[in-house]
Chains A and B, each alone.
Chain A
């Protein structure tokens, strides 16, 4: 099975390092970015399935990054990570297209579950797209056969 490509975006360097180690041990392929800008830069170069995005970061704010990602890469699943126990930022994130949210401090277990769920959701979506595209292709080829015929 294909490794889930995960990206962690947080301004806490040590969090990135440790979580990367943990997730890699659990069999994920992990990219890290310590700011929104870096994350967007890296996304241009590598393919990522799921992003875990901290809501509150210096510089580019988590919600702005989310908006940007969703515009450029609508298929990328984003899980918001919030320091606030308040649901408000999470709700805002969900409205903007985030798949789910997690509250700090979060368990590795929870993180893995949510990342897997997000990946599954993405897989399902990709599958649907593939089916649709193949139907379209089929129809196209049938039409061209008819024309030829």
Chain B
């Protein structure tokens, strides 16, 4: 039951010692991690967005510039002038000086026939009237195509602008080198896995993608791209290779091209991941520390608690014992006193009987006979038993004595050796050796010599009885030692190697009339009288004993000042 009680206490202490620091610890780490993660995420997303927007603006600006270049040629020259091959070549060479992106330049009439051409391919006379770009430019006035193969079977895209003068309409068309354009788009460098590319509204690559995806191939992930929107979209999506990517996409304003910037998620949130690792390490280490400390401290607290409880129990028992003894003492004193009066009467009566009996005998009125002898013996026995009763009541009254002992300073060195001298002879008859070990610097004590003598003699007698009980006449040893005790007290130990006292009896040892000796051998008052005497001297009498191993009585008395 006691054990369970400690276990329950231990669990409570342990739980609170672990939970109280661990909960705020985890909360702090959790919140810290959450805010760090959100801030990392938002800053990463913001930078992705910025890259996407800057990049798309830059590319769009590039394309519009190229458009403006050929627009200038178209409007600064008449139809005839541009149809002049020499003149057009001159303009083309000027264009190429300005931007190496241009591959070729040509003039197409309203019927779709390539009138003039300058560039590496032989495209003069080709008819474009069914081509998609031609139809679009005729309708819209200008057009930037998606990347396509065309007659030349090389991926390229065109910028075409139409000029109308009255009923006459003609178109200037320039081809842009996809290689050059690719480099322009690809040059974005974000982290190691970051890349930028463009797809058209059909999801076809307009530039190559570094992580795989060739020109004019379909982007396998396109279908889940968001719809047309002015804003920059960011999202996290798994690609067909099962890799998580953080995407930022934005549509170009003038073309149905989608600018895509993407970064592998693990790359994007690399610092977050290291934060997680650090966080986990700290958490694990911290929690282990907390738990270890909690276990250690709980163990110590419980030990302390157990010790304190044991001390408390011990103290409580001593108090109960002392209280019980005081009560018993009072009761016994009253009892003894009341017994003494009838005892006195019995004694007087016995004396009277004896006297009359003797008178009768003297006068010869009683004949000598067996009965007479027995009668005399019986009367004599009554006297003896009265004496016995008187001894008992006197012992009880001594135990309960209320007077202060006549105190004087006692030198224990000489006092103990006097007592030992007194008992030595009796002890040696039984082969018992009495040794003394008294500290040299032992202080004097304040007490009543005859009473203390009585205590010591009584304890030595008990020791001898115990030794005889255990060893018979082979003897044993009684060690009497005296030393300084804590709190200005002096301790006298009377240790024997006799039969010891059982756990059951040790509790009752100071109780009046408690004895283990045979009837008539002991009154059971010796130790209770000793206890009473030591108690009156403001001391303590304590017993420790082990069955079949001996007993030690310890008297602690205040040292004289």
Residues of chain A having any CB pair with chain B under 8 Å: 12, 14-15, 18-19, 21-22, 25, 56, 83-88, 103-108
Inter-chain contacts of A106 with B (CB < 8 A) = 344, 347
Inter-chain contacts of B346 with A (CB < 8 A) = 105
> How many angstroms from the CA of A56 to the CA of B341 in the assembled complex?
10
> How many angstroms from the CA of A120 to the CA of B352 in the assembled complex?
26
> Assuming the A-B contacts A22-B355, A85-B393, are A104 and B341 also in contact, with contact meaning beta carbons closer than 8 angstroms in the complex?
yes
Add 15 more A-B contacts to A14-B345, A85-B393 (CB < 8 A): A12-B345, A18-B345, A18-B349, A22-B351, A22-B355, A83-B340, A83-B344, A84-B397, A86-B401, A86-B403, A87-B403, A88-B403, A105-B346, A105-B386, A108-B351
> How many angstroms from the CA of A104 to the CA of B337 in the assembled complex?
9
Name which residue of chain B comes closest to A108, CB basis. B351
Name which residue of chain A comes closest to B401, CB basis. A86
Min distance, Cβ A102 to any Cβ of chain B, angstroms: 10
Contact indicator A104/B344 (Cβ below 8 Å)? yes
> How many angstroms from the CA of A12 to the CA of B344 in the assembled complex?
10
Contact indicator B337/A83 (Cβ below 8 Å)? yes
Inter-chain contacts of B13 with A (CB < 8 A) = none
Min distance, Cβ B383 to any Cβ of chain A, angstroms: 9
Chain B, residues 390-409, CB within 8 Å of chain A (1/0): the string is 10011001100111000000
> How many angstroms from the CA of A25 to the CA of B352 in the assembled complex?
10
Q: Which of B336, B341, B398, B402 touches A88 (beta carbons < 8 Å)?
A: B402
> Assuming the A-B contacts A15-B348, A105-B344, are A85 and B397 also in contact, with contact meaning beta carbons closer than 8 angstroms in the complex?
yes
Contact indicator A18/B352 (Cβ below 8 Å)? yes
Min distance, Cβ B506 to any Cβ of chain A, angstroms: 29
Interface residue? B63 (CB, 8 A): no
Interface residue? B326 (CB, 8 A): no
From 338 to 361 in chain B, residues with beta carbon under 8 angstroms from any chain A beta carbon are 338, 340-341, 343-349, 351-352, 355
Inter-chain contacts of B401 with A (CB < 8 A) = 86
Contact indicator B355/A12 (Cβ below 8 Å)? no
> Assuming the A-B contacts A85-B397, A105-B343, are A19 and B348 also in contact, with contact meaning beta carbons closer than 8 angstroms in the complex?
yes
Inter-chain contacts of A19 with B (CB < 8 A) = 348
Most chain A CB within 10 A, of B344, B386, B398, B401, is at: B344
> How many angstroms from the CA of A14 to the CA of B398 in the assembled complex?
28
Min distance, Cβ A123 to any Cβ of chain B, angstroms: 26
Q: Which of A18, A83, A85, A87 touches B341 (beta carbons < 8 Å)?
A: A83
Contact indicator A56/B345 (Cβ below 8 Å)? no
Min distance, Cβ A89 to any Cβ of chain B, angstroms: 10
> How many angstroms from the CA of A88 to the CA of B398 in the assembled complex?
12
Contact indicator A84/B348 (Cβ below 8 Å)? no
> How many angstroms from the CA of A100 to the CA of B453 in the assembled complex?
26
Inter-chain contacts of B347 with A (CB < 8 A) = 105-107
> How many angstroms from the CA of A89 to the CA of B349 in the assembled complex?
26
> How many angstroms from the CA of A19 to the CA of B351 in the assembled complex?
9
Inter-chain contacts of B352 with A (CB < 8 A) = 18, 21-22
> How many angstroms from the CA of A85 to the CA of B390 in the assembled complex?
10
Min distance, Cβ A30 to any Cβ of chain B, angstroms: 13
Inter-chain contacts of B355 with A (CB < 8 A) = 22, 25
Contact indicator A104/B343 (Cβ below 8 Å)? yes
> Assuming the A-B contacts A104-B341, A104-B343, are A85 and B394 also in contact, with contact meaning beta carbons closer than 8 angstroms in the complex?
yes
Contact indicator A104/B340 (Cβ below 8 Å)? yes
> How many angstroms from the CA of A104 to the CA of B346 in the assembled complex?
11
> How many angstroms from the CA of A83 to the CA of B355 in the assembled complex?
25
- By Cβ-Cβ distance, the 5 closest A-B pairs, closest first, are A85-B397, A105-B344, A18-B348, A105-B343, A83-B340
Chain B, residues 8-19, CB within 8 Å of chain A (1/0): the string is 000000000000
Inter-chain contacts of A87 with B (CB < 8 A) = 403
Inter-chain contacts of B344 with A (CB < 8 A) = 12, 15, 83, 104-106
Inter-chain contacts of A25 with B (CB < 8 A) = 355
> How many angstroms from the CA of A98 to the CA of B348 in the assembled complex?
23
Contact indicator A15/B403 (Cβ below 8 Å)? no
Min distance, Cβ B28 to any Cβ of chain A, angstroms: 76
- Chosen A-B contacts, 16 in total, with CB atoms closer than 8 Å, are A12-B341, A12-B345, A15-B345, A19-B348, A22-B355, A56-B337, A83-B340, A85-B393, A86-B402, A87-B403, A104-B344, A105-B344, A105-B389, A105-B390, A107-B347, A108-B351
> Assuming the A-B contacts A18-B348, A21-B352, A22-B355, are A86 and B340 also in contact, with contact meaning beta carbons closer than 8 angstroms in the complex?
no
Min distance, Cβ B355 to any Cβ of chain A, angstroms: 6
Name which residue of chain A comes closest to B349, CB basis. A18
Inter-chain contacts of B403 with A (CB < 8 A) = 86-88
Most chain A CB within 10 A, of B336, B346, B351, B389, is at: B351
Contact indicator A85/B336 (Cβ below 8 Å)? yes
Min distance, Cβ B380 to any Cβ of chain A, angstroms: 14
Min distance, Cβ B269 to any Cβ of chain A, angstroms: 96
Contact indicator B337/A84 (Cβ below 8 Å)? yes
Inter-chain contacts of A15 with B (CB < 8 A) = 341, 344-345, 348
> How many angstroms from the CA of A127 to the CA of B345 in the assembled complex?
36
Inter-chain contacts of A88 with B (CB < 8 A) = 402-403
Min distance, Cβ A32 to any Cβ of chain B, angstroms: 13
> How many angstroms from the CA of A59 to the CA of B347 in the assembled complex?
25
> How many angstroms from the CA of A14 to the CA of B346 in the assembled complex?
10
Inter-chain contacts of B390 with A (CB < 8 A) = 105
> How many angstroms from the CA of A53 to the CA of B275 in the assembled complex?
103
> How many angstroms from the CA of A103 to the CA of B394 in the assembled complex?
9
Min distance, Cβ B131 to any Cβ of chain A, angstroms: 141
> How many angstroms from the CA of A104 to the CA of B393 in the assembled complex?
10
Inter-chain contacts of B343 with A (CB < 8 A) = 104-105
Q: Which of B341, B349, B397 touches A86 (beta carbons < 8 Å)?
A: B397
Inter-chain contacts of B340 with A (CB < 8 A) = 83, 104-105
Name which residue of chain B comes closest to A15, CB basis. B345
Contact indicator B398/A85 (Cβ below 8 Å)? yes
Inter-chain contacts of A84 with B (CB < 8 A) = 337, 397
Name which residue of chain A comes closest to B403, CB basis. A88
